[in-house]
A and B are shown apart, each in its own frame.
Chain A
Amino acid sequence: MLKVQRLTKTYATAAGPLTVLNEVSFELGRGASLAIVGPSGSGKTTLLGLCAGLDRPSTGDVVLAGESIGEMSEDARARVRNAHVGFVFQNFQLVPTLTALENVLVPVELRGEGGPAAEAEAEALLGRVGLGERTDHYPIQLSGGEQQRVALARAFMNRPKILFCDEPTGNLDGATAQAMVELIFGLNHERGTTLVLVTHDPELARKCGRILRFKSGAVVADELTG
């Protein structure tokens, strides 16, 4: 599902080139789950962004759902994201001007596939994450945990082949975070989605089938959790 080959990302800075990711390679099969862990500044989020096609690598390539996205244009990568990828962000990133239902509908409406059937599915997803009564609420009217659940429903709306989560529980309290984790893994199993998540939380990381440990832009350990 995801194949990362000798991935390197370098930024030009005043002090010279800065390599934040150095020759990273790994593969992930369909339905697998991977946690990327490491200290701040180790390159976790950069790797996630490159894997999800949010940025272009300096060298190396990413093959996502069978498509090599390293050399693709931004719009072509956007099409791949829309077709195969779901996202859950640390700070939720809901569109503040859309209701919960409308936020969930965005990925399918972008494809021009909106309509009563899509709405019914979005409502069902919101019901699945426990927000069936809050479909008309705007993000500002929802708590952090509720917003993250809407984000999760949105992530699954386009039936993604792979779900990327960036610190999905980083802004949530313990109990809410626990509920969120259960939802993520529950939906992941139900739909057979591949899961890639970045986290600082060792508990959360251990729930994944595999853990990549990062330091200074390089993989220092690749562990299977069994």
Chain B
Amino acid sequence: MKFILRMAWRDSRASRRRLLLFSLSVVLGIAALVAIGSLGANLERAIDDQARGLLGADLIVTGRNAPGPEVEAHALALGAQLAKEKSFSSMALFPTAQNATRLVNVRALEGGFPFFGDFVTVPADAPAKFRAGGDVAILEETLLRQYRVQVGDTVKLGETRFTVIGSLQKLPGESSALAATVAPRALIPMDRLEATGLAERNVLVRHRLMLKLPETLDPLAVENEMRRKFRAERLGFDTVAERKRDLGRVLDNISGFLSLVGFVALFLGGIGIASAIHVYIRQKITTVAVLRCLGASAWQSFAVYLVQGFALGLFGAVCGAVLGVGVQAGLPNLFKDMLPFDVEFAIAWPAVARGMGAGLVICLLFTLLPLLAVRKVSPLVAIRSAFAENVGAGRDPWRIAVGLFIVAAVYGFAIWQTTRLRDGVGFASALLVSFLLLAALAKAVTWAARRWFPKQLPYVVRQGVANLYRPNNRTVLLLVSLGLGTFLMLTLFLTRTTLLREIEFTNGGGRPNLLFFDIQDDQIDGLKAASAAAGAPIIVHAPIITMRIAALKGRKVDDILRDQRGGAPAPAQGGPDAEAEDRKGPGGGQARLPGWTLRREYRSTYRGKLESSERVVRGEFVGQVAAGEAVVPISVEEGIFRDMGLQLGDEIEWDIQGVPMRTKVTSVRAVEWRRLEPNFFVVFPEGVLEGAPKFHVAAVRARDSEHSASVQRAIVEAFPSVTAIDLSLVLQTVDGIFTKVAFVIQFMALFTVLTGVIVLAGAVMTGRFQRIRETVLLRTLGATQRQLVQIQLVEYLILGFLAAFVGCLLSVGGNYLLAKYVFRITPSVSILLLAAGGLAVCAVTVVTGFLSGRGITNHPPLEILRQET
């Protein structure tokens, strides 16, 4: 052993810089794993430390209707402190910003919520003022920034002007970034809600009752008791334990996904190392043969280089861990806005060890592949160099075993990170397929370059092309590493383009781009007039009637649900049991129905004819019926038609706010949901629902954002309870969310691309040792420096172009698959983006190639020969 260690150390003398460069290939992959693992551990700790602050209360009861007085009485009897909240979407009007309007999430609060955690505002005394009451509001910070609102200015919500007393920075249990992007929050005291006139007219009010329980009570036990006792109220419950579990699951998914992105970098680095070690070992064959002549066993000579491989991996792992810890220190800043709690930086040693371990294992496995050849070096090579050519040739069962082990390690890691067999296998398979595809393409390129060698072209071009297929070429290595990096990065960019274009598409062709809802029956005519006066006449208008399914195909909904649960009592809506129920299917030998299709509140409309965003795919649409029709013909959207296992002619009995109505499915519609128009699961004919309590939704088209703002201003001023959604706001929202998420993903993908660059640099440096003799020979035979540079340029340009081209093609494929199967939209491809990405990869390849190979061409041949031999 002593000899092995000593020999490994001495033998590495002339190659340490090179070996360090090889080890850099895995540094970034390990750094990514350490950073994500450590961040995950920090998040977990933060969740534990701030557990109660995650919810702000011990138990929160939610419902579409206010929990009844007996619920409150029950909570008070337990000794709980209570706080209440009503929230809904509405328009805010900012008088100091020329009456600009914006959709906000109004939160009317009463009581001491949050009981735990920090309610952070600027200035800090705003919560105290808020609790003192009056017409005061705390607004999301983004609103203050966007409309240049100062503390002390006013904001109009419904009929009331509120004085802004602070900006909201943090409310327990909520992520400020997402809340601010989707619907910025506006907090007002509960006792001022009535004066706004908003709550009564708004049908989408969400009620929350927050409980602070005595220390002696277990929130889960209280929840279970209340679930049982108030089942009829269809309440939802949330406890700290459940919130922790949900958050943990989400964060596990995110960190698992990011770890996989990091793993791609590590995998690439492993390929780089295998390739570099392969070349390194070929240069060591004579040394190994001499050692064998002098009496070293196959194991001893193999062990000398295995020790070097291990040391290289260890060095890479340590550097990766240090870099990873450094990166992790910065990561919480990236995530800060997205997390509903504070994260403090601390080194999570188990995560560091796991990252280093994974790196070391991958490094060793990939090092072993070329190292195994050392066992086969014959001592005869010392006296006959021709024997060196056969080293590594032939089938070696150990190489096959190591190869299989690598595949198993990739699958194992992916499954471990995703925690789901299907996802892990999917990811690993996608990675291997991409890898094999790129490798196959690279092989095809080398074959094609040899097959259609451009004999007529100038010497430098021919030499550059020949470099693609000559022995020890870098074509496969570079196409795989750079291609995979390009593929990942461009797929992200293309997906973003696809999503944004999809939304922009809905804005074209005279389609509506401004939607008004929460319009009461008595407001619709006035709104039509006001809208037309503002230059945006209503294009689409639909009345909305809320209803629930009472019976399906002659069976009561409660009976169906009970049967599907096997006789157990029904879970409350929105609770975890209900969710679990939704994930399950029905039983009794029949097709199982998703519970949500039976329990949900349907918002349906009636129409005489179909809108342009929908078309009948089966049956016949009936637009009018006579009042008093016993069984009303209805049209059902195809998705829910399928989910509910319906057939044409099936009967559905509805409970329309207490009034039963029998219907029959006579048509199925395909609906373009992506268009910003009022679309519905169920459409009734005219003639039966006109008398039912209803509200309206209407859509108009504004010429541009200024026109949109003025129309909104006009409507909101006249009808304060009416809410507007501007398509540009949706665009902005999607872009905002995507930008935040994409930044984190791109940050991780950057590790892959940088690894590709390092692998490239390593390959070129390795090639430097391989090709130096040829370059020197060319110099000796009279090649000018310019010609040598041109040869390199041709080679790097071809490699860069091919890597970029293949990466672009794969990213187009990846974007297509994501668009079709994940987002279910039409994929968009930006040629400009692909061209820019491709050019960047080409440029990086050429620049890295030149930087790594510099010095070969601009020195006298003799000087280099003396240095390198």
Chain A CB within 10 A, most for which of B7, B287, B295, B298? B295
Q: Which of A113-160 contact B (CB under 8 A)?
A: 114, 140, 154, 158
Complex Cα spacing A102 to B10, Å? 9
A98 proximity list for chain B (CB < 8 A): 10-11
Q: Given that A74-B298, A95-B290 are contacting pairs, would A110 and B382 also be in contact in the complex, using a CB cutoff of 8 Å?
A: no
Q: Given that A48-B383, A109-B3 are contacting pairs, would A97 and B292 also be in contact in the complex, using a CB cutoff of 8 Å?
A: no
Complex Cα spacing A82 to B292, Å? 9
Does A204 sit at the interface, judged by CB under 8 A?
no
| Contact indicator A45/B14 (Cβ below 8 Å) | no
B3 proximity list for chain A (CB < 8 A): 109-110, 112, 114
Min distance, Cβ A171 to any Cβ of chain B, angstroms: 13
Q: Which of B164-223 contact A (CB under 8 A)?
A: none
Give the residue name and chain of the A residue nearest to B296 (CB): A110
Does B626 sit at the interface, judged by CB under 8 A?
no
Interface residues on B, range: 20 to 34
CB-contact partner of B2 in A89, A97, A112, under 8 A = A112
B2 proximity list for chain A (CB < 8 A): 109, 112, 114
Q: Which of B257-299 contact A (CB under 8 A)?
A: 286-287, 289-299
| Contact indicator A82/B379 (Cβ below 8 Å) | no
Q: Which of B292-312 contact A (CB under 8 A)?
A: 292-300
Does A61 sit at the interface, judged by CB under 8 A?
no
Does B852 sit at the interface, judged by CB under 8 A?
no
Chain A CB within 10 A, most for which of B3, B13, B378? B3
Does A60 sit at the interface, judged by CB under 8 A?
no
| Residue interface mask A78-92, B partner, CB < 8 A = 1 | 110111010101100
Does A187 sit at the interface, judged by CB under 8 A?
no
| Contact indicator B287/A95 (Cβ below 8 Å) | yes
Min distance, Cβ B868 to any Cβ of chain A, angstroms: 10
| Contact indicator B294/A89 (Cβ below 8 Å) | no
Does A202 sit at the interface, judged by CB under 8 A?
no
B300 proximity list for chain A (CB < 8 A): 110
| Residue interface mask B1-30, A partner, CB < 8 A = 1 | 011001100111111000000000000000
| Residue interface mask A19-43, B partner, CB < 8 A = 1 | 0000000000000000000000000
| Contact indicator B379/A54 (Cβ below 8 Å) | yes
| Contact indicator B297/A49 (Cβ below 8 Å) | no
B224 proximity list for chain A (CB < 8 A): none
Min distance, Cβ B602 to any Cβ of chain A, angstroms: 79
| Contact indicator A54/B383 (Cβ below 8 Å) | yes
Give the residue name and chain of the A residue nearest to B287 (CB): A95
Does A107 sit at the interface, judged by CB under 8 A?
yes
| Contact indicator B11/A95 (Cβ below 8 Å) | yes
Does B869 sit at the interface, judged by CB under 8 A?
yes
A85 proximity list for chain B (CB < 8 A): 295
| Contact indicator A87/B294 (Cβ below 8 Å) | yes
Give the residue name and chain of the B residue nearest to A49 (CB): B380
Does B455 sit at the interface, judged by CB under 8 A?
no
Give the residue name and chain of the B residue nearest to A102 (CB): B10
Does A203 sit at the interface, judged by CB under 8 A?
no
| Residue interface mask A58-82, B partner, CB < 8 A = 1 | 0000000000000000110011011
A154 proximity list for chain B (CB < 8 A): 294
Does A10 sit at the interface, judged by CB under 8 A?
no
| Residue interface mask B122-144, A partner, CB < 8 A = 1 | 00000000000000000000000
| Contact indicator B294/A97 (Cβ below 8 Å) | no
Min distance, Cβ B374 to any Cβ of chain A, angstroms: 13
A89 proximity list for chain B (CB < 8 A): 382-383
Does A96 sit at the interface, judged by CB under 8 A?
yes
A54 proximity list for chain B (CB < 8 A): 292-293, 378-380, 382-383
| Contact indicator B294/A107 (Cβ below 8 Å) | yes
Complex Cα spacing A45 to B384, Å? 8
B290 proximity list for chain A (CB < 8 A): 93-95
Q: Given that A75-B299, A78-B296, A109-B3 are contacting pairs, would A95 and B382 also be in contact in the complex, using a CB cutoff of 8 Å?
A: no
A112 proximity list for chain B (CB < 8 A): 2-3
Complex Cα spacing A45 to B290, Å? 16
| Contact indicator A96/B14 (Cβ below 8 Å) | yes
| Contact indicator A97/B297 (Cβ below 8 Å) | no
B378 proximity list for chain A (CB < 8 A): 54-55
Complex Cα spacing A56 to B3, Å? 27
Min distance, Cβ B305 to any Cβ of chain A, angstroms: 12
- Across chains A and B, which 6 residue pairs bring their CB atoms closest together, nearest first? A82-B295, A75-B297, A54-B379, A81-B295, A93-B290, A109-B3
Please name 6 further chain A to chain B contacts, defined as beta carbons within 8 Å, in addition to the given A54-B383, A106-B291, sorted by A numbering: A45-B383, A48-B383, A49-B380, A74-B297, A82-B296, A114-B3
Sample of 11 A–B contacts (CB below 8 Å) = A54-B382, A54-B383, A75-B299, A83-B295, A89-B382, A93-B289, A93-B382, A107-B294, A109-B2, A109-B3, A166-B383
